[in-house]
Every structure is written in structure tokens, then in C-alpha cells.
Amino acid sequence: MKAFFLTTSRILDRVGFVALVLAAAGLVLMTCVVAYAVFGRYVLNSTPSWAEAASIMLMGWFIFLGAAVGVRERTHLGFDVLLYVLPPSGKSVLRAISDVVVFAFGSGMVVFGLSLVDLTWTNVAPTLGVSGAFSYFPLVAGGLLISLFALERFCARLAGLPVDDDVPELQPEAHLAPRDPR
């Protein structure tokens, strides 16, 4: 069972890395599109009609893929504030509940994202000439990855694997302590 989790974890590590690279590429590409639109508007006096729609579509991709990577890296979507006041036993229960809630949230993104894809499949984005459904594919992809990453963590937790060992716990009193002047 442990070997299965390790293999699955390695695969999901790669999936998370690919999602991170795609999110970063989308951010860079969107920045280039917006820069080109600004250049066209103020220098050439001719704004490209496709730039706004393309940048919004790219934004959807990098936001939802980036959010999924944040779930994978345990830096996004959780009940972190409550962890500061709970004893260790309560923290593990709250983290398990958090995994279930995040899984449900990601599943909802997939279900409702697919319904939006279905509703907009025949619509055409006039400036891009593509189906309006392409605007909602990032919601489905991000939700699928969020669900997978939350399910992986929850199953590993049930199997007794050390899921939270590398999660840094912020100590509020550490921020109040005087700093070493060296």
C-alpha cells in the first residue's frame, strides 16, 4: 500500500510541476499579450481586438492551475487560522476535515465547470473565433487537480503516512521574540 502511495505521489508531483510550468507560462504569455495591447493602443493607435479576450482566457488558466499547485504544496485552501489554537490531536482532525472540504470544493468546480462548458459549447467568442467553452475549461482542469491533490493527501493521512511532517507551523510568539542583533 505504501509503495502505491509513493508511486502515486511521484506521478502527482510531476502533474503538479507541469501545472506550475503551464501556470507560469500562462502568466508570462498574458503579460506579453497585455503589453502588446497597450503598445498597440498608445503607440500604434490600434488596439488588437483579440487581446482582452485572450488575456482573460489565459488568466483563467494560470489562476486555476496555480490554485491547484497551491493545494498540492499546502499553501492554498485550508483552515490554517484555526490550527494555531488547537492542540496537536485537534490539528490532525482539522487537517483531515480540510482535505475533505477541499476535495468537495474541487469536485464542485468540476461538476459546475462541466455544466458551464456544456452551456457555452455552441457559443463563439467573436474576437477569438473559438468556442465560449474554452473559457471554462480551466475551471474544470483546476477543479480536477484540486480534487486529486486533496484526495491524495486524505488517503495518505488515512494510511498513516506522515503527511504534515514538513508543514511549517508558524509560532506567533516567535514573531514577538527579539531578533539577534548579529
Rounded CA separation 20/26 (Å): 10
Would you say residue 122 lies in a domain?
yes
Range of the structural domain that residue 13 is part of: 2-164
In a domain, 171, yes or no: no
Answer whether residue 174 is part of any domain. no
The CA-atom distances, in angstroms, between 40 and each of 44, 48, 137 are 5, 7, 29
Is residue 34's pLDDT more than 90?
yes
> Do the Cβ atoms of 106 and 145 come closer than 8 Å?
yes
Higher-pLDDT residue of 131 and 169 is 131
The pLDDT value recorded for residue 182 is 56
Q: What's the structural domain count of the chain?
A: 1
Residue 134 falls within a domain, yes or no?
yes
- Which H helix or E strand runs over 124? strand 124-125
Task: Identify whether 137 is part of a domain.
Answer: yes
| 94 inside domain | yes
The band of 167, judged by pLDDT with boundaries at 50, 70 and 90, is low
pLDDT band with cut points at 50, 70 and 90 for residue 53: very high
Tell whether 147 is covered by a domain: yes
Write out the three cell numbers for 147.
Answer: 480534487
Burial class for 179, CB neighbours closer than 10 Å (0-12, 13-18, 19+):
exposed
Could you tell me if residue 140 is inside a domain? yes
Averaged pLDDT of the chain: 87
